[in-house]
């Protein structure tokens, strides 16, 4: 396998890329392709005569052409397909356009449009990207990894497609998520795309619609479970360690019965994390930190109701506990301020719960004396009213769950209730920002999981922050790669959350912004990576270096999508 390396000429100091292809082969490789921007010198050395029109385009001119074509697309999925096709042709051009139009294009490259792309993956499938690891071929894992485009992979995003956004089991269609996630790592943290690898582990699907779909391109058997499933994952992880020993592994959209279990099983064996658990927890924590600055209160002063206690709910609860412990509470005292509500109501002693939920189950004596609307069932409103909740967090995937009655109950508990309606895509959001502001007479602080436009209430425009994991995970990955960290810890996520919150100005807080502008995402990722590198160094499992040195390394490693000069490897 080849390595991808950006080199520096020892005589001139010029950065350049040594390319292994010539003729049409280089044009057909998306990492190396410059299309009409190949210089005359490159056309000569790489034997491209006749393959390109005469005029040498600039990157800016190519971007203009892309925007003209992109603007003609009116359907979100068509925009997604067009941008993915551009990625498949010319990665530098794609990332230049994406970075320059980040706010506009983000909803089409990732959520919410990527959900539709996952559902229709087998129908819009055009070109291979990443690696597909079939359970039927797990014995060939080393041969599969030998087909990665480069040998120096530093980041792998892997899914088994079981819990895609709020859509559930999408089987092989889950591959749309690692592909999209990689693009966010690149655009937000500047990790070069040649160093990133999206992977889908195909263990079958329980989605009957996919099983019946004649165009479905994945395994149609029911999902593997138990020892058979664990064997596939074990062989995959061992394969990663053998073939890409320096790679960070991000677990993405695994089902609730596997997500935390796999994270705990492998986090000490391979540098890895689960964005759905840890990333979601950290960005929710960052948003709450910002709200506390506005309220001039602390985490430990709040009472939290988390509606939907799957892996995201657990991740948020775990992050809150660690945040409150930073403020001096014990673990027990921190958990006493958190009320987990699932479809069966408030989780209390005696209920049948999943293993990961058990640490947050409420003791029965903690709810004695509560007045309930329906005897024997403690619902969401009961919990809000009796716990006097000040923060309401939704990760349920239940559209409209935060109705007017629920929101008004929150408004009665404190002056500035915090509402985090985090389910995505947009169709799954627990409430709209407009509904939350209307029900609380404009007093609530709100952030959402999917993008919403600003809302004008009582003549004042309120900005709605998208509680997007993109503020966290790209910097986590970059910091771990640069520091060569042996592990990724929960502490890194807590300090990353603080870094993100600190980047929100007081003026922006007053306008309703609880998170930085997405246009500043590279600054955010830089500071998150810096926090990770420092913790890795101070904990003894990352490279040593002064703060100044670590920050310099992070900045130098962030790729700016521009064409570099090419030199043919055969010209030596």
Q: Which residues pair with 392 in a beta bridge?
A: 305, 419
Distance, CA of 539 to CA of 485 (rounded, Å) = 10
Distance, CA of 88 to CA of 82 (rounded, Å) = 10
Sheet holding 566-568, edge to edge: 6-8, 15-19, 566-568
237 touches 167 (CB < 8 A): no
How far is residue 47 from each of residues 41, 121, 129, 191, 280, measured CA to CA in Å? 10, 37, 27, 30, 49
H or E element in which residue 563 lies: none
How far is residue 460 from each of residues 447, 456, 545, measured CA to CA in Å? 17, 5, 48
181 as an active site residue: the answer is: yes
How far is residue 320 from each of residues 61, 134, 301, 389, measured CA to CA in Å? 48, 37, 12, 15
**Ramachandran region of residue 232, left (φ > 0), alpha (ψ -120 to 50) or beta?**
alpha
438 touches 410 (CB < 8 A): no
Return phi, psi of residue 132, to 5°: -105, 120
For residue 202, the SS3 value is strand
Distance, CA of 467 to CA of 513 (rounded, Å) = 11
Residues in the chain, how many?
572
Count of helices and strands (H, E) across the chain: 24, 17
From the list 181, 295, 381, 534, the catalytic residue is 181
Q: Which long-range contacts (CB under 8 A, 24 or more apart) does 27-31 make?
A: 27/51, 27/52, 30/87, 30/88, 30/89, 30/90, 30/91, 31/4, 31/91, 31/149, 31/193, 31/194
Tokens representing residue 571 in the block:
């010209």
110 as an active site residue: the answer is: yes
Strands of 130-209 (E only): list them: 131-134, 155-159, 196-202
Cis check: omega of the bond before 411, within 30 degrees of 0: no
From the list 80, 95, 110, 495, the catalytic residue is 110
Distance, CA of 94 to CA of 80 (rounded, Å) = 12
For residue 359, which of 391, 322, 389 has the smallest C-alpha distance?
322
Q: What angle do CA 466, 472, 473 make, to 5 degrees?
A: 120
Cis check: omega of the bond before 142, within 30 degrees of 0: no
Question: What are the catalytic residues?
Answer: 110, 181
């Amino acid at each position: 396998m080849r390595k991808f390396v950006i080199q520096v000429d020892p005589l001139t100091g010029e950065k350049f890329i040594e390319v292994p292809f010539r003729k049409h082969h280089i044009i057909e490789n998306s990492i190396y392709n410059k299309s009409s921007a190949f210089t005359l010198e490159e056309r000569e050395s790489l034997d491209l005569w006749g393959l390109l029109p005469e005029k040498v385009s600039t990157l800016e001119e190519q971007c203009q052409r892309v925007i003209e074509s992109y603007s003609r697309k009116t359907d979100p999925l068509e925009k997604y397909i067009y941008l993915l096709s551009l990625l498949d042709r010319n990665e530098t051009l794609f990332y230049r356009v994406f970075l320059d139009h980040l706010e506009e294009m983000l909803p089409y490259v990732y959520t919410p449009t990527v959900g539709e792309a996952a559902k229709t993956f087998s129908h819009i499938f055009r070109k291979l990207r990443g690696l597909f690891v079939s359970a039927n071929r797990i014995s060939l894992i080393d041969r599969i990894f030998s087909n990665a485009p480069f040998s120096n992979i530093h980041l792998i995003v892997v899914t088994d497609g079981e819990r895609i956004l709020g859509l559930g089991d999408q089987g092989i269609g889950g591959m749309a998520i690692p592909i999209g996630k990689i693009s966010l790592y690149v655009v937000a943290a500047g990790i070069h795309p040649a160093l990133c690898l999206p992977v889908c582990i195909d263990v079958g699907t329980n989605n009957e619609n996919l099983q019946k779909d004649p165009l479905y391109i994945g395994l149609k058997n029911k999902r593997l479970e138990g020892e058979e499933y664990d064997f596939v994952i074990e062989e995959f992880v061992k394969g990663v360690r053998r073939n890409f020993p320096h790679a960070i592994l991000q677990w993405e959209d695994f089902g609730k019965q596997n997500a935390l279990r796999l994270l705990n099983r492998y986090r000490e064996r391979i540098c890895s994390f689960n964005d759905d658990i840890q990333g979601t927890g950290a960005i929710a924590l960052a948003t709450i930190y910002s709200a506390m600055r506005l309220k001039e209160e602390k985490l430990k002063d709040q009472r939290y109701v988390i509606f939907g206690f799957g892996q995201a709910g657990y991740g948020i609860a775990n992050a809150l506990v660690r945040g409150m412990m930073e403020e001096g509470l014990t673990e027990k005292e921190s958990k006493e301020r958190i009320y987990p509500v699932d479809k069966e109501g408030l989780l209390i002693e005696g209920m049948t719960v999943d293993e990961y939920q058990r640490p947050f189950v409420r003791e029965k004596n903690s709810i004695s004396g509560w007045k309930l609307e329906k005897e024997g069932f403690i619902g969401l409103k009961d919990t809000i009213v009796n716990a006097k909740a000040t923060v309401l967090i939704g990760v349920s995937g239940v559209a409209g769950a935060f109705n007017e009655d629920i929101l008004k109950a929150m408004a009665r508990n404190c002056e500035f209730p915090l509402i985090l309606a985090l389910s995505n895509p947009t169709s799954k959001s627990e409430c709209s920002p407009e509904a939350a502001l209307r029900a609380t007479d404009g007093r609530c602080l709100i952030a959402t999981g999917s993008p919403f436009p600003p809302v004008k209430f009582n003549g004042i425009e309120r900005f709605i922050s998208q509680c997007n994991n993109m503020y966290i995970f790209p910097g986590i990955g970059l910091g771990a790669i640069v520091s060569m960290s042996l592990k990724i810890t929960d502490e890194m996520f807590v300090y990353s959350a603080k870094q993100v919150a600190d980047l929100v100005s007081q003026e922006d807080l007053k306008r309703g912004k609880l998170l930085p502008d997405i246009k500043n995402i590279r600054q955010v990722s830089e500071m998150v990576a810096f926090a990770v590198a420092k913790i890795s160094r101070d904990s003894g499992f990352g490279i040593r270096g002064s703060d100044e040195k670590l920050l310099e390394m992070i900045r130098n490693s962030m790729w700016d999508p521009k064409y570099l000069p090419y030199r043919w490897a055969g010209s030596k």
